[in-house]
C-alpha cells in the first residue's frame, strides 16, 4: 500500500524584507544577493509569532484541502530546526492547537532536508499499516536564529511553513520511493553551536553569538551541487525512470545556482522547476512544502504526473522523494 498526499497548505508571514532593506544595515547589495543566490526578498515573522503559530495556519489549509477533520489525524510530525522551544516538540503545540486529540506528536530535525525525512517517516508508517492519516508540517522561524549583522547568513534565510496530509493511496499513485542520506563529518558546515549539551547557554555563548546560524557557504555550495546531481539520478534509477519522465522538480530553495545545476543535470527546462526563493529566501524545512502547495494551487501538476522532491542541508543531510501525483 502506498501513501499519498491528499491536501497541501502553506503560510508566510506578512512582513517583507527586501535586499535593499538589508543593504541599509549590512554591507551588501541587491545586485550581489540576486546574482549569488537568486533571492530578492524574504518573509520575517512578527515578534510575537511562534513557529507553531505558522504550523497552525499551514496545517489548517492542508486539512481543509484534504477534507480531513483534526480528530481523524493519527500522527503529527513537524520538521523544524527552529521550534518554539527545545522541549516540548513544536508538534505537541500544534497537536493541541489544531485539536488532533487522537494523534501522537513529535519533531524531526534534519535541517533543510527535514521535510523529506518527515515524509519518509510518514510514508513508512502508512505503508506498514500503523497509521492512516498523518499531518506533516515543515516550518522554520529562521529570523530568530540569525545574526542580523552577519551578511554571509542574514541575506539567505526566511520564515514560513508548509503542510501536507498523507494517507493510504488506494491506487498506484503516491510516494514511489524516498531516499535519505547524511555525512556528519561536515556538521560544522551549517550549525547553531550554542544552547545544547556541547555549549550550554551561558553569558559567554550569548556574547559569542553561538545561538546564531553559522554557515561555511562556499564549501556547502560545492558539496550540495555535487551531491544533488547524483541524488536525483540515483532516485530516478531506483524507479527505472529517466529525467524525461518527470513533470516537475520541486527542489529545496537554498540557491538558484544550485537549483539550476540540478535542473541542467536532469535536462529539465526551468518552467518545470518550482522556484520561489526569489520571494521567500531559504525557509529550510518549509521550502519544499511551501513550493509544493504553490504548484498544486496554481494547477501546475495534475493527476498521474511524476514529481521529484530533493533537499540538502545541515548535518550534512540530503534526501529525495519520487511521487506519482
Note the residues at the interface with ligand ACO (CB under 6 A).
28, 32-33, 36-37, 111-112, 151-152, 155-156, 190, 217-218, 220-221, 224, 254-255, 258, 282, 284, 312-314
CB closer to ligand ACO out of 22 and 63: 22
Dihedral sign of CA atoms 17, 58, 2, 273 in order: negative
From the candidates 112, 142, 154, 191, give the one annotated as an active-site residue. Answer: 112
CA distances from 324 to 4, 173, 261 (A): 8, 5, 24
Nearest to 281, CA basis, from 208, 213, 194, 187? 213
Nearer CB in complex with ligand ACO: 155/169: 155
Give the shortest CB-256-to-ligand ACO separation in angstroms. 9
- 134 touches 15 (CB < 8 A): no
Task: Find the shortest distance in angstroms from Cβ 210 to ligand ACO.
Answer: 16
CB of 87 to ligand ACO, least distance (A): 21
Number of other CB atoms surrounding residue 3 within 10 Å = 24
Of 10 and 28, which has the nearer Cβ to ligand ACO? Answer: 28
Residue 211 annotated in active site: no
Smaller CB separation from ligand ACO, 70 or 314: 314
Among 19, 142, 255, 282, the one annotated catalytic: 282
Question: What backbone torsions phi and psi does residue 74 show, to the nearest 5 degrees?
Answer: -90, -25
Q: Least distance (Å) from ligand ACO to the CB of residue 22? A: 8
Q: Of 2, 17, 13, nearest to 45 (Cα)?
A: 13
Active-site annotation holds for 27: no
Told to judge if 252 belongs to the known catalytic residues of this protein, a careful annotator would answer yes
Please compute, for residue 112, the number of CA atoms within 13 A of its CA located in the half-sphere on the CB side: 29
With cell 562556499, the residue in question is 218
Return the residue nearest ligand ACO (CB atom).
Answer: 313
Catalytic residues: 112, 252, 282
Amino acid at each position: 500500500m502506498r501513501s499519498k498526499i491528499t491536501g497541501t497548505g502553506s503560510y508566510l508571514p506578512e512582513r517583507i524584507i527586501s535586499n535593499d532593506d538589508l543593504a541599509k544595515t549590512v554591507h551588501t547589495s541587491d545586485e550581489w544577493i540576486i546574482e549569488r543566490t537568486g533571492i530578492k526578498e524574504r518573509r520575517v515573522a512578527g515578534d510575537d509569532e511562534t513557529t507553531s503559530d505558522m504550523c497552525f495556519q499551514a496545517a489548517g489549509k492542508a486539512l481543509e484541502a484534504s477534507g480531513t477533520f483534526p480528530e481523524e489525524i493519527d500522527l503529527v510530525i513537524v520538521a523544524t530546526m527552529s521550534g518554539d522551544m527545545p522541549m516540548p516538540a513544536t508538534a505537541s503545540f500544534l497537536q493541541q492547537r489544531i485539536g488532533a486529540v487522537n494523534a501522537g506528536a513529535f519533531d524531526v530535525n534534519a535541517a533543510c532536508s527535514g521535510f523529506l525525512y518527515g515524509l519518509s517517516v510518514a510514508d513508512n508508517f502508512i505503508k506498514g499499516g500503523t497509521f492512516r492519516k498523518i499531518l506533516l508540517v515543515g516550518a522554520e522561524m529562521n529570523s530568530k536564529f540569525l545574526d542580523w549583522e552577519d551578511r554571509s547568513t542574514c541575506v539567505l534565510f526566511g520564515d514560513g511553513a508548509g503542510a501536507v496530509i498523507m494517507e493510504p493511496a488506494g491506487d498506484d499513485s503516491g510516494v514511489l520511493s524516498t531516499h535519505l542520506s547524511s555525512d556528519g563529518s561536515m556538521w560544522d558546515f551549517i550549525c547553531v553551536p550554542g544552547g545544547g549539551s556541547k555549549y550550554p547557554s551561558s553569558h559567554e555563548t550569548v556574547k559569542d553569538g553561538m545561538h546564531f546560524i553559522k554557515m561555511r557557504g562556499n564549501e556547502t555550495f560545492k558539496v550540495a551541487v555535487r551531491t544533488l546531481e547524483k541524488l536525483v539520478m540515483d532516485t530516478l534509477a531506483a524507479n527505472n525512470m529517466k529525467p524525461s519522465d518527470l513533470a516537475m522538480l520541486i527542489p529545496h530553495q537554498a540557491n538558484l545556482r544550485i537549483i539550476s545545476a540540478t535542473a541542467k543535470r536532469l535536462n529539465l527546462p526551468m518552467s518545470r522547476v518550482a522556484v520561489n526563493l526569489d520571494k521567500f529566501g531559504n525557509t529550510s524545512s518549509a521550502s519544499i512544502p511551501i513550493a509544493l502547495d504553490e504548484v498544486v494551487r496554481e494547477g501546475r501538476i495534475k493527476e498521474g504526473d511524476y514529481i521529484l522532491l530533493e533537499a540538502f542541508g545541515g548535518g550534512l543531510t540530503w534526501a529525495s522523494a519520487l511521487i506519482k501525483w
